[in-house]
Amino acid sequence: MPAKRVDDASRYLPESKTLPALRNAVQKCKACDLYKNATQAVFGAGPASARIVFVGEQPGNEEDKQGLPFVGPAGKLLDRALVEAGIDRSEVYVTNVVKHFKFEERGKRRIHKKPNSAEINACRPWLEAEISVIKPKIIVCLGATAAQAILGRTYRLTKERGKFTQHEWAPYVSATIHPSAILRAPDEEQRHQQFQDFVADLKQIKNKLQRASEAEEGPFLSLDRDKVAGRSR
């Protein structure tokens, strides 16, 4: 019996590992079936110099149409939470575990479907490649799919949310709720509470990044750098 073919995206990766080259190459990926029905692949977005990478599950309906991650309702909520936490979205990189939108058609609507583990594994080389270019200080998994894809199948978000784990991809990996889950909260009061908890997690992440940068550079050095940056503006 022939061995089961384990296809993953490795053979679609470009020789030159830069974000523009990867973003270009992902459009030709056929490592799993999800490219067939989606409009386009949605690669990560943000600067290569980002210190924080947010990883969601997969593009949604709006992301699939626009070709950009986190631009639909969940992305708008993420934007608001980042502002409240004092994190500049232009300084973070956002991406997804799976790069093509998986959905089920119900009438005219396209309903999001969870990617399975074969699809997640097939797509992992893209995520790994973008993270190896960026070399972030902190990776934040948004929701259980991202957390389990990166931290392992036994990871339990409800138990370990907000903790920082050392990982081969980054010195700190953490996980929090997915913004879509906040949007699905049953009433306004719970939605508000979940949003506040999400913002609190993001503030912890910001603090962790600040402390990690100070430990790296020394607090005075980073102060100096701010001064220099202020003067040159």
* DSSP bridge partners of 176: 142
Q: Judged by CB under 6 A, does residue 98 bind ligand SF4?
A: yes
Q: Judged by CB under 6 A, does residue 151 bind ligand SF4?
A: no
Out of ligand URA, ligand SF4, none, what residue 99 binds, judged by CB under 5 to 8 A for its kind, is ligand SF4
Q: Judged by CB under 6 A, does residue 120 bind ligand SF4?
A: no
| Distance separating alpha carbons of residues 195 and 71, to the nearest angstrom | 18
Q: Where are the beta strands (DSSP E) in the chain?
A: 52-56, 92-96, 103-106, 109-112, 138-142, 165-167, 170-176
**Binder to ligand SF4 among 26, 45, 138, 175 (CB under 6 A)?**
26
Q: CB of 8: closest distance to ligand URA in angstroms?
A: 20
56-115: which residues touch ligand URA (CB under 6 A)?
56-60, 63, 69-70, 72, 74-75, 96
Q: Judged by CB under 6 A, does residue 44 bind ligand URA?
A: no
Give the tokens for residue 91.
């300084």
Query: Would you say 162 and 124 are in contact if contact means Cβ atoms under 8 Å apart?
Result: no
Looking from the CA of 15 toward its CB, the CA atoms found within 13 Å total 0
Q: What are phi and psi of 43, to 5 degrees?
A: -85, 175
Q: Is 70 left (phi over 0), alpha (psi -120 to 50) or beta?
A: left
Question: Of 12 and 164, which has the nearer Cβ to ligand SF4?
Answer: 12
Q: Judged by CB under 6 A, does residue 146 bind ligand SF4?
A: no
Q: CB of 220: closest distance to ligand URA in angstroms?
A: 39
- Site stretch for ligand SF4 (CB under 6 A), options 77-85, 117-125, 137-145, 154-162: 117-125
Q: What are phi and psi of 65, to 5 degrees?
A: -75, -40
Contact set with ligand URA (CB under 6 A): 56-60, 63, 69-70, 72, 74-75, 96, 180
Contact set with ligand SF4 (CB under 6 A): 9, 26, 29-32, 34-35, 41, 98-100, 119, 122-123, 126
